Amino acid sequence: MPMSVEPRRVAMISVHTSPLEQPGTGDAGGMNVYVAETAKQLASRGVEVDIFTRRTTGETPVEAELVPGVRVRHVTSGPYEGLAKEDLPGQLCAFSAGIMQAGLSVPEDHYDLVHSHYWLSGQVGWLAADRWRVALVHTMHTMARVKNLHLAQGDRPEPRGREIGEVQVVEAADRLIANTDDEARELIELYAASPRRVSVVPPGVDLDTFTPGDRLAARRELGLPLDGELLLFVGRIQPLKAPDVLLRVADELLRRDPSRRHRLTVAVLGGPSGSGLDRPHELEELARTLGIDDVVRFVRPVPRPVLAQWYRAADLVLVPSHSESFGLVAIEAQACGTPVVAARVGGLPTAVGEAGVLVDGHATSDWADAVGSLLSDAPRRLALGSDAVRHAAQFGWGATTDRLLDVYRQAMRERATGSTETPVDEARSLVGVPTAVIP
């Protein structure tokens, strides 16, 4: 019988973005939500969590309490301002030194496990786990080789250095967590990960915040037209997320039916990020070029209770990403009872399930057909909205954390005994998938 182990204290590492930052701004996105929500859930189960992240301003406190049992520890590494995510590999040594220094203030066996998020954190987590003689669990969130296979037109490919760094983390981690079966296959096929070390743990959604509600009341609160049609995009403004698809769809719908102009509102909620910072006003320029700027609203990122109102207010939420490891926006919208039209890429088929519409490719005509069909069919939208709520109910953060804890226990047992267990809840079809040896 396997030995019983329970994590008491976990060190989470999120180098490039803090769980305290507003999702949708800069590099803050779904990963921030994932780290914050799983840490809070772990604390509610009696597991103490320290989240190590980079200090980005002189005013940022060295430590901050997210909730009781969860500390965010800000590590000074490099200048506070002016560093893009692409600059951070040069600061990993300083960040690692900061974590090692923090480790001197606690007993040697203080942490039971390290859980790193994104490849930059995996590089640091590799060193920390080795120094503290504990297991390393790693979640990629996004992968360079996957993104480079699905680049948007004009987008920059991920650098070779990131690919190499990811391969190193895959080799070093005791356990790799994939959001979906497809992501697990990508780890195995593109990074030669051992299937026995890959566990599938779908992310979650805050089912207390993202709930169905009154559409008219939400529109009234947000100052939106009470009647008419509202199409919504939520996310970071960058080519990877393809917000331009929403504008091109709106333009095509207006071409097909000019009378729609008086009743159509298109909302883009988010801020520039990544390669989108190269041309931060490109989307506004596109709206003007298409001649639809009169129906488009650009909205800065908002707190989650307000975001839930935007979801409730919308007739449809579009998620046209070129690559998406899961798609938290899709599951949040569905939890609010709003149908989703999404690209059939990455984890979106899992996030959307049968409760929304998936579109192959990014051709404007295909997207306009899907969106136009739903806008003209209120009974179908209503049925999809009901299905969406039921589908999203399966993805609470509590369920995610239960599965994370199973992975933690496995990793700790393996570290203690030197054996390797088959991952809990692993898609069994993954075992035996041919691996590609990547040079």
Give the annotated binding-site residues for UDP-N-acetyl-alpha-D-glucosamine.
22-23, 30, 236, 241, 302, 324, 332
Positions at the binding site: 16, 22-23, 27-32, 85, 118, 142, 162, 236, 241, 302, 311-312, 314, 324, 332, 338
**End-to-end CA gap in the chain:** 39
Positions at the binding site for 1D-myo-inositol 3-phosphate: 16, 27-32, 85, 118, 142, 162
Residue 81 identity: E
Strand order in the sheet with 357-359: 296-299, 264-269, 229-234, 316-319, 340-343, 357-359
Positions at the binding site for Mg(2+): 311-312, 314, 338
Token reading at 366: 């295909």
Nearest to 396 by CA among 209, 214, 199: 209
Give the CA distances from residue 207 to residues 305, 332, 393, in Å, rounded to whole numbers and listed in that order. 12, 8, 7
- A 10 A CB-CB count for 398 gives 13
Spatial neighbors of 278 by CB under 8 A, at least 6 apart, are: none
Q: What pairs with residue 53 in β-bridges?
A: 74
